Structures are given as structure tokens and as C-alpha cells.
Amino acid sequence: MGKDVIIACDFASEKETIDFLDNFHDEKPYVKIGMELFYSVGPEIVREIKNRGHKIFLDLKLHDIPNTVKKAMRALSSLNVDMVNLHAAGTAAMMTAALEGLTREDGTRPLLIAVTQLTSTSEERMRDELLISKPIDEVVIHYAKNAESAGLDGVVCSPLEAKKVHSACGNSFLTVTPGIRFPEGDAGDQVRITTPQKAKEIGSDYIVVGRPITAASDPVSAYRRCVKEFID
């Protein structure tokens, strides 16, 4: 499976999202639809963007009891998205149930990946607020192994952890990595971050890029820069 740049369309309205995508005439970027947009507009925005020819990562990070997640995944699978996710902290039983719900009658399904630790989480916060005393790299790898054992396709992790995940779970196990910034960019609320070029060197399979593209004065040029530095 080839590498790709996923644009995080973290907008509050359908108009903002479509206006942004209208900038792209020669490309159909892979896009991420997150909680803000999905909860504001509803599933119709997924259908509209899909009809425009884009691949979609539906980033809702499900985390609930296994039966609830199974039923929710069944509903999301009907939207014909390309990738969905959940929290690995929901345990193997929840992840297995999610796969069951996501798989259609013909055996097809979107990619399913698990969030390990958010890129806004530092080791200090994890220890002091979540009472997880293990080093963050160790926790991420443990969650990744749980996801692999449950049959998932990969994990969301910091690009700084992608190489270690591949070492533990194999190169075919996908690493989807947010926390991407250009060297001159502002880190914002992210903690564990790196550049597109460095993510390529480390071995990320997908990078998820939001503000460096969506807030750029020329979003198309910023997207093409990401593609050049990460893929070309």
C-alpha cells in the first residue's frame, strides 16, 4: 500500500469544507473528516466528499463497550469511507467487535486503525493524569501489538514512534501519523511532532496534516510541498 498525505479537514461547516476542497483542481487529496465536521453537518458531508472523488479517513475515535462499537461501526461502514478508527485503550474485545461490525456481507470493509496515544499527550501527562507509569514508547508498542492481535490494519501514532511500531508489528502494519509540521511552523497544541521529510525517513505510511495546509495562504502549494517531501 503506497504512502499518502491525508489533509485534516477540521472545519466547522460544510461551506468551509467545500470551499477549501474547491482549491484543488488537479488533485483529489485524501481527506480526514473529524468529530467537529461530522457532528456539525452529519453523514451527508461524507457522501458529498466521496462523490467528489476523494478518499476519506473518518476520524471519530470510537471508544465504548464492544456491542455499542460494533453497531456504530456497522453504520459507518455503510458510508463507504476508506479508513476509520477507534481507541486501542478500549481493549481487544472492543477492537474485535469493531471489526465484526465494520465488515460488510460481501467481506469488504474500510481500513480499521487504533489510536495509541494522542500526539498532544506527553509522557509526563500520561504518568500524572492517566496514571500510566510505563514509558510512552512502551505503551504505544503494547497498544499496537494488541491492535495487531485483534486483526486491525494499523495504528495512529506519533511519527516518532512509527519505526518502532513497524519493528514490533511488521512493515505491513500501517502507521498513520498526525503531528506533522513544517520546520518553520508553529507546534500549536501538539507535543510529539516532526516534519514531512523526517516522517518519510522514519517510515510513516500516512501523514495527517491539518493547519500547515488548511491555514496556509496557498493550501495547494502547501499540500504539494507535503507530497514532495513525504512521497516524491
Q: Are 226 and 196 in contact (CB under 8 A)?
A: yes
User: What torsion do the CA atoms of 68, 89, 166, 184 make, to the nearest 10 degrees?
Assistant: 100
Q: Are 153 and 112 in contact (CB under 8 A)?
A: yes
Q: Are 88 and 143 in contact (CB under 8 A)?
A: yes
Q: Are 156 and 116 in contact (CB under 8 A)?
A: yes
| From 3, 50, 55, 61, active-site residue | 61
Concerning whether 134 is annotated as a catalytic residue, the answer is no
Residues counted in the chain: 232
Secondary structure percentages of the chain, helix, strand, coil, to 5: 45, 15, 35
CA distance 224 to 203: 19
Backbone angles phi, psi at 73, to 5 degrees: -65, -35
User: What torsion do the CA atoms of 46, 90, 101, 62 make, to the nearest 10 degrees?
Assistant: -10
3-state secondary structure of 190: coil
CA atoms within 13 A on the CB side of 125: 9
Q: Are 162 and 175 in contact (CB under 8 A)?
A: yes
Residues that are catalytic: 61
